[in-house]
Amino acid sequence: MNSTGAKLWSGAFLSVAMLLSGAANSSCDFDTDDADGPDFLDKIIQCEKQQGSRDKSAKTSRANNSAQITKLYGDGSLTASGIIERPVAAAGTLNHHANQSFVARQPYSLRPDAKFEESVTIAIQKLHLEMAHYCARGWDMQRQWTEPNGQQQGDFFLHYQFRCAGT
């Protein structure tokens, strides 16, 4: 490739990069070296799912004309399912963020050999603990949805989007 061609392609590449950077998510847990790891495909899917949730949250936020939605997962320790999750807030450590919206999620399993600790009942219990932690004076549920866990068939994530009461 001659120097003119190289510069042209470089310019085009940087322009595309600048365009795409608008969609980039700096809070994503994707580490640069993960791109060369054996599970790079899982990392892409996991990371972009977080972005998808963020996009959905942003749309809901605009519709409700409310404050930005804070995501409560993806910044913690590695669970047995291989997903980085924030630990569930301990009971008794209560806060209240009036009118602020959050999205929390918990993994659960519908596999026949799933343990009780992996049941949807426990997932709901943990989500309520989180809601009580951030919205001690009450909340309203804005949305709930489930996404499959791409790492193992039969495993899912239950998401709760909630907003703390205004008082």
Please identify, using beta-carbon distances, which residue of 55 and 117 lies nearer to another protein. 55
Q: With the CA atoms of 53, 38, 21 and 61 taken in that order, what torsion angle do they form, in degrees rounded to the nearest 10?
A: 10
Q: Establish if 92 lies at the interface with another protein (CB under 8 A).
A: no
Please identify, using beta-carbon distances, which residue of 57 and 163 lies nearer to another protein. 57
- Interface with another protein (CB under 8 A), residue from 66, 82, 88, 124: 82
Q: Establish if 91 lies at the interface with another protein (CB under 8 A).
A: no
Q: Establish if 15 lies at the interface with another protein (CB under 8 A).
A: yes
Q: Establish if 138 lies at the interface with another protein (CB under 8 A).
A: no
Spatial distance between the Cα atoms of 131 and 163, rounded to a whole number of angstroms: 9
The CB-of-156 to another protein minimum distance in angstroms stands at 12
Q: Establish if 27 lies at the interface with another protein (CB under 8 A).
A: no
Q: Establish if 75 lies at the interface with another protein (CB under 8 A).
A: no
Contacting residues toward another protein, per CB under 8 A: 1, 4, 6-21, 23-25, 28, 30-33, 35-42, 44-45, 47-48, 51-52, 55, 80, 82, 148, 150-153
